[in-house]
Chains A and B, each alone.
Chain A
Amino acid sequence: MNHLSLVIKREYLTKIRNKSFIVMTFMSPLIMVGIFALVAYLSQLNNEKIRVIDVLDESGMFRGYLQGNENISFEMLSEETSLEEAKTNSSESEDYGLLYIPKTSTIAELESSIVFYSEDSPALTMMNDLENALESRANALKLEEAGYDATTIKNLRLNIRPKLETFAGEETSKMGSGLKLIFGGAAGYLLFMFIIIYGNMIMRSVIEEKTSRIVEVIISSVKPTKLLLGKIIGTSLAGVTQFAAWVVLIGVFGWVITAIFGIDPSAMQQQQAATQAAAMGGMEKMVQDVFMEISNLPILNLIVMFLLFFVGGYLLYASLYASVGAAVDSETDTQQFIFPILMPLILAVYVGFFTVIDNPHGMVSQVFSYIPFTSPVVMLMRIPFGVPLWQQLISVAILFITFFATVWLAAKIYRVGILMYGKKASYKELIKWLKY
């Protein structure tokens, strides 16, 4: 077996067998699924109760016209009840609040004279429901007053939904943008997380070899660049293994928890989705749209570019992390070097989530998708929105050229740094090392 594969094998096996690695592999998905299930369960618990609202309608204009929904229901009080009586009754009963509609001379006056009494300030979503119910009846009354028939007007109203189509003739929908965002965002964020978690792991592994003083023994058998490369590849393979395990475990745990507790994790969004679906012409149409949009995404382009940017971006940062590990003596000294590495990475994610969402092809998005330290994240987020192939290729080319230059520099720092003990490295020192 040659040196590189020996180093890769050792790095991989040591990582995989490490106790905290194993614990993390199993605990992280458990914690994630657990928290998700808890949130789902709690919000279900929260929304279960239907809020009863007592209505004292002195105007008599709303009786029979107020319609409740799955969150609120209205209970009309007799018109003879005085306001004071109604207030005492409401506050003493379990009911959520009291809606008081006074008798006014004109309908317009209602705008400011209706009062809602409750224990404390009411929930926003409930107030929306309440206002909608009141407005739709009041508007109908105003129309009648002006001599129009409310139902006729409702029937006359047109609902225009432009059919979306690209110049190339592909059908799209409003779902598209959201979906593209999810694909791009997930790809960019995945890379970001991967770099931070496993970049750190590589750095620690370099520091470990330095502090345990084995590095000179190893270096007398293996070329430093091979050791560096083997470390990066071995750790990445361990990372890919861990990610794969997480995906599988989240699936399994999710399924188990759903089965045991009978929680439907999608319950949270069901209502929202249902309203959206209604607006777009039914659930079926929505599902259709999703599939249509997915098939419209440049899937092959996305996968190929994802792999290229992921590998290039990850290796670029991994080699930087490794040289930081070589430059210091202990993990506590890494801060001053880690910060400048994290900066462009965090910037990339911010640019991705704010600027790209706003305008995927704007000036800022374009510039950042060429800068090699941000391009992997930003470009990955842009690609689903359609980036010309030549632009993607230029960006990949810049990334890989920078990658080779960085690895060359990192290997130099690494080669000198691993044999420097007890010397506190400064940036000045690092530049000196590059000249050795």
Chain B
Amino acid sequence: MEKLLVAKNVSKSFGSFTALNDVSIEVPKGSVFGLLGPNGAGKTTFIRIINQITMPDTGSVTLDGEPLHPSHIAHIGYLPEERGLYKSMKVGEQALYLAQLKGLDKQEAKKRLRYWFERLEIGDWWDKKIQELSKGMAQKIQFVVTVLHQPKLLIFDEPFSGFDPINANLIKDEILQLREQGATVIFSTHRMESVEEMCDHIALIHKSNKILDGRLVDIKRAYKNNTYEVGLLTENESQVVAELKERFEVNPAHFKTINDELQYKIQIPETASPNDLIQFLTQRGQITHFVEVVPSANDIFIETVKNN
């Protein structure tokens, strides 16, 4: 797959503190790329390097095959975690200013702003000052400003903080639509459910090192361990449980149901197939529930960070 952004062996330290240690990351074109990691792991430093706010000590970053250059600013849209707008400046004027800094000419910027303001139903805010708006309203404007110059690469750092669920959903849909239109999205967040929903690639940074990356499905596949969640209606429960424990690794499970059945997580040997387990179970009762346990992004995150 073609890569939009390639970072090779990037290191950066501030004084004696190493913020990034030999980090290499490849972001495929057209993907939603989740940049994950605990607080202080080095995500923001990495994002700032892409935005040419800080320069890496060693290593290289290329965008579309070219080494990063000031002219790339026009191709990147960045919504930082620490974000804000000039409080005493009018919405329209401010959006125009920020758009012009990204290289749009005034007329074009005006036209696009009108389109976006209409689309997000904020058209009548043009002459309002930011300090008159609520936090969520200001966030909408911030979003518009980030995407207005139609960048190839969009970088969102915790984009949903400050939004109510309705607006968060709205913004999520907009982001996915931008991806449809060909943009590549780098997405840094702690909210694992949105990673699950949106990302197709992830990279996990922990204590300045990249400890995991790849396609989310591949990672999940690698992290699953042939465990199945099973519900079984049977008459002689204690005997079945004893038999199960003899053959498999068994742990209790809890899921909502209308039956009063046995609930277990059962891990089968790597050589076995789930059909063997089903066969075993059907001989001993009625299967009410059978699901492969796939690790969530949250599980993977916690497990990997703990193991490092």
* B113 sits at the interface (CB 8 A): no
The answer to whether A216 and B76 touch across the interface, beta carbons within 8 angstroms, is no
Judge whether B98 and A217 touch: CB under 8 Å.
yes
A16 CB to nearest chain B CB (Å) = 13
Q: Give Cα A259–Cα B70 distance, bound, in whole angstroms.
A: 60
User: In the complex, are the beta carbons of B53 and A214 less than 8 A apart?
Assistant: no
Minimal beta-carbon separation of A63 from chain B (angstroms): 78
A154 at the interface (CB under 8 A from B): no
- Inter-chain contact A6/B101, CB cutoff 8 Å: yes
B53 touches A3 (CB 8 A): no
B182 an interface residue at 8 Å Cβ cutoff? no
Give min CB distance, B12 to chain A, whole Å: 10
Q: How far is the CA of A216 from the CA of B145 in the complex (A)?
A: 13
A432 & B97 in contact (Cβ 8 Å cutoff): no
Chain B residues whose C-beta falls within 8 Å of the C-beta of A3 in the assembled complex = 101
Identify the stretch in A102-110, A219-227, A375-383 within 8 Å (CB) of chain B at 4 or more residues.
A219-227
Q: Are A212 and B87 in contact (CB under 8 A)?
A: yes
Partner of B53, one of A18, A419, A432, A436: A419
A1/B15 in contact, CB under 8 A? no
- Closest-CB distance, B157 to chain A (whole angstroms): 9
- Given the known inter-chain contacts A219-B53, A435-B15, A436-B15, please indicate yes or no for A214 contacting B101, CB distance below 8 A: no
What string of 1s and 0s marks CB contacts (under 8 Å) between A218-246 and chain B?
11111100000000000000000000000
**Complex interface residues of chain A between 110 and 128 (CB less than 8 A to chain B):** none
Return B155 CB to nearest CB of chain A, in Å: 9
Q: Which of A14, A208, A214, A436 contacts B83 (CB 8 A)?
A: A214
CB–CB A212/B80 < 8 A: no
When the two chains form their complex, are residues A432 and B15 in contact, meaning their CB atoms are under 8 A apart?
Answer: yes
Closest B residue to A436 by beta carbon equals B14
User: Do A213 and B84 form a contact, CB below 8 Å, given A220-B73, A221-B98?
Assistant: yes
Cβ–Cβ contact A6 & B97, under 8 A: yes
CB distance from A22 to the nearest CB of B (A): 13
Bound together, the chains give a CA A10 to CA B87 distance in angstroms of: 14
Asked whether B150 is an interface residue with its Cβ less than 8 Å from the other chain, the reply is: no
Instruction: Say how far B211's CB is from chain A's closest CB, in angstroms.
Output: 26
Q: How close is A152's CB to chain B, nearest CB, in angstroms?
A: 81
Name the one of B15, B73, B86 contacting A221, with C-beta atoms under 8 angstroms: B73
CB pair B83–A217 under 8 Å, yes or no, is yes
Contact with B along A8-35 (1 / 0, CB 8 A): 0010001000100000000000000000
Q: Is A408 an interface residue (CB 8 A)?
A: no
Q: When the two chains form their complex, are residues B51 and A220 in contact, meaning their CB atoms are under 8 A apart? A: yes
B window 58-114: CB within 8 A of A: 70, 73, 76, 78-80, 82-89, 97-98, 100-102
Residues 36-88 of A contacting B (Cβ, < 8 Å): none
User: Is there contact, CB below 8 Å, between B145 and A217?
Assistant: yes
Q: Report the minimum CB–CB distance from B144 to chain A (whole Å).
A: 12
- Within the assembled complex, what's the spacing in Å between the Cα atoms of A10 and B85? 14
Chain B residues with CB below 8 A from A350, complex form:
none
Contact of A421 among B14, B51, B82, B86 (CB under 8 A): B82
- B85 close to A214 (CB less than 8 A): yes
Contact indicator B101/A222 (Cβ below 8 Å): yes
Q: Please, how many angstroms separate the alpha-carbon atoms of A217 and B102 in the complex?
A: 11
Q: Give 1 or 0 for each of A421-436: 1 = CB within 8 Å of chain B CB.
A: 1000000000010011
Contacts of B70 in A (CB 8 A): 223
The residue in B53, B73, B102 that gathers the most chain A C-beta atoms within 10 A of its C-beta is B53
Complex contact B100–A1 (CB within 8 A): yes
A18–B129 CA distance with the chains assembled, in angstroms: 13
* Docked complex Cα distance between A134 and B88 (Å): 71
Residue of A nearest to B47 (CB): A220
**Chain B residues with Cβ under 8 A from A208's Cβ?**
86-87
> Are B97 and A217 in contact (CB-based, < 8 A)?
no
Q: Indicate which residue in B53, B84, B86, B100 contacts A220 across the interface (CB closer than 8 Å).
A: B53
**A220 with B76, Cβ < 8 A, contacts A14-B89, A436-B14 known:** yes
Known interface pairs A432-B15, A435-B15, A436-B15. Does A212 touch B84 (Cβ–Cβ under 8 Å)? yes
* Alpha-carbon gap, A10 to B96, bound state (A): 11
- Closest Cβ of chain A to B148, distance in Å, is 12
Residue of A nearest to B12 (CB): A436
- The reply to whether B78 and A220 form a contact with Cβ atoms under 8 Å apart is yes
Beta-carbon contact of A216 and B80 below 8 Å: yes
- Cβ of A214: which chain B residues have Cβ within 8 Å of it? 83-86
- With A14-B89, A419-B53, A436-B14 known as contacts, the answer to whether A221 contacts B101 (CB < 8 A) is yes
Give the Cβ gap from B98 to chain A, nearest Cβ, in Å.
Answer: 7
Q: Mark B99-137, 1 if CB is under 8 A from A, else 0.
A: 011100000000000000000000000000000000000
Contact A217 B78 (CB under 8 A): yes
Known A-B contacts A419-B53, A435-B15; A212 and B86 likewise in contact (beta carbons under 8 Å): yes
* Neighbouring A residues of B88 by C-beta, 8 Å: 14, 18
Within A167-222, the residues touching B (CB, 8 Å) are: 208-209, 212-214, 216-222
Residues of A within 8 A of B48 (CB): 419
Q: Compute how far the CA of A217 lies from the CA of B139 in the bound complex, rounded to whole angstroms.
A: 13
Nearest CB in chain A to that of B89: its residue: A14
Which 4 A-B pairs have CB atoms at the shortest separation, nearest pair first? A213-B84, A221-B101, A216-B80, A212-B84
- 26 CB contacts below 8 A, A to B, read A3-B101, A6-B101, A14-B89, A18-B88, A208-B86, A209-B86, A212-B85, A213-B82, A214-B83, A214-B85, A216-B53, A216-B78, A216-B80, A217-B83, A217-B84, A217-B98, A219-B51, A219-B53, A220-B52, A220-B53, A220-B78, A221-B102, A222-B101, A223-B70, A436-B14, A436-B15
